[in-house]
Amino acid sequence: MSQYTRLASTDLQEEAIRKIESWVKRAKKYIVGADTIGKYPQTVILDLTYHGSEIYVHSDGFEDTEYGNPGVTVCGEPVYNYEDFKNALTNA
């Protein structure tokens, strides 16, 4: 368990954070900070730059939320796999 998966409020969210951590390492980037927003269940925000808030992970993990929003966004773009992740970082 990493310091970031401890912020997860659901199993799906924890699984998504683990996957994102592996993608960040694969892209030779670093997570430099994290926070949560909202009431339970919470959204986890991961920073790739100081107070960057580049990655949002909702409680549904990679599933779309019940409100129709993507479960994971990177730089404002929905992400479902490593290619999406890499493209979102490149386009930012």
Q: Measured between alpha carbons, how far is 91 from 84 in angstroms, rounded to an integer?
A: 10
Asked if 72 and 18 touch (Cβ cutoff 8 Å), the reply is no
Q: Residue 54 and residue 1: Cα distance in Å, rounded?
A: 22
Q: Are 40 and 10 in contact (CB under 8 A)?
A: no
* Burial of 13 (C-beta count, 10 Å sphere; 0-12/13-18/19+): buried
| Percent over 70 (pLDDT), the chain | 97
pLDDT, tens digit, 9 for 90 and up, residues 33-66: 999 998 877 899 999 999 999 999 998 899 876 6
pLDDT value at position 80?
94
